[in-house]
Amino acid sequence: MEKGKNIRGRRLFSAFLFCAWLTFMALAGFFIPSFLSDLPLLQIREITVEGNRTIDMDTVRSAIYSVEGSVFKLSEDQILSVLNERTGGRVKRVFVTKNVSIRGISIRIRIQERVPVAKVRSGSTYIFIDEEGKTFPAYDLRSGNLPEVVTHDLKVLEENFPKLYRSVKGSGIRVSLIKVLKDRTILVSGRRQIILPPIDLLPDNVVDRLRMVYNFREGKIDLRFDRFILVRN
């Protein structure tokens, strides 16, 4: 009799260990057995989205559900990749927090969207560009008073725009139009035009050159050389 109880006890203990192992493997994200996948513990109970200014919550939620594999292995890079595929690259960073309870999994998503600092003419329409030189579809041309950029080569603009943007911002000059040409870069500010070297050849002291002409209100100012040249209209 005692021997039978010991056998049953060992079987129950073995079954307990097996179930515990399966649960651990599921929680660790290796796999979720079909008979465990319906447990509330392994289901997404709630998704909270923060920081999204222009991207709707349904787009974020659908991106999470579209990622293959266990929810426990859901990474920030995966969500960022899917969101940028669906929004044309409008997301800069994604932060994910997961909380597991017996009622299910709560996921908190904080999104950092790219902020446009200029609009780039592309054919008959526009695209946005941010301070890092990343371009993405223009979602609302009425938002903000963004300067317009015209360029002969989009790739050259993207690679060198951060330096130009930092220089213009650091000088305090308000620009309405930027022309990126092969042999020069032209800033249009009010009634004046400021001529700089080609965008891919901008010197490190370009912000200092711009500050020198901050108070000039009209004419053409050529800053391609060590000394500026002022041409009045």
* Residue numbers of the domain that contains 56: 38-113
Give 100: exposed, middle or buried? Use CB within 10 Å, 0-12, 13-18, 19+: middle
Determine, yes or no, domain membership for 202.
yes
**CATH number of the domain within which 130 lies:** 3.40.50
> Does residue 92 sit in the same domain as residue 138?
no
Number of domains in the chain: 2
From 70, 89, 113, the end of a domain falls on 113
Amino acid at 94: V
First to last CA, the chain: 111
> Does residue 96 sit in the same domain as residue 131?
no
From 90, 113, 136, the end of a domain falls on 113
The DSSP secondary structure of 109-153, one letter per residue, reads EEEEE---SEEEEETTEEEEE-TTS-EEE-S-TTSS-PPEEEES-
Separation CA 60–CA 55 (nearest Å): 8
Determine, yes or no, domain membership for 88.
yes
Determine, yes or no, domain membership for 2.
no
pLDDT score of 75 = 85
> Does residue 203 sit in the same domain as residue 141?
yes
pLDDT bucket at 35, cuts 50 / 70 / 90? very low
Determine, yes or no, domain membership for 219.
yes
pLDDT bucket at 230, cuts 50 / 70 / 90? low
* 69 to 80, 145, 231: CA distances (angstroms): 16, 43, 65
> Does residue 136 sit in the same domain as residue 104?
no
From 98, 113, 128, the end of a domain falls on 113
> Does residue 84 sit in the same domain as residue 128?
no
> Does residue 106 sit in the same domain as residue 124?
no
**CATH number of the domain within which 98 lies:** 3.10.20.310
Pick the more confident residue, 186 or 206. 186
Residues 6 or more apart in contact with residue 184 via CB below 8 angstroms: 195, 196, 197, 198, 224
pLDDT at 22 > cutoff 60: no
- Give the mean model confidence (pLDDT) for residues 134-153: 88
For the stretch 96-120, pLDDT in tens is 888 877 777 888 899 999 999 999 9
**Interaxial angle between packed helices 76-87 and 57-66, expressed in degrees from 0 to 180 and rounded to the nearest 10:** 120
For the stretch 57-82, pLDDT in tens is 889 888 888 876 666 677 889 899 99
pLDDT bucket at 10, cuts 50 / 70 / 90? low
- Give the mean model confidence (pLDDT) for residues 131-149: 88
pLDDT score of 102 = 72
For the chain, percent of residues with pLDDT exceeding 90:
43
Query: What is the layout of strands, in order, in the sheet containing 104-113?
Result: 44-50, 104-113, 91-101
> Does residue 147 sit in the same domain as residue 188?
yes
Determine, yes or no, domain membership for 174.
yes
pLDDT at 174 > cutoff 70: yes
Give, for 194, the enclosing helix (H) or strand (E).
Answer: strand 191-196
pLDDT bucket at 157, cuts 50 / 70 / 90? very high
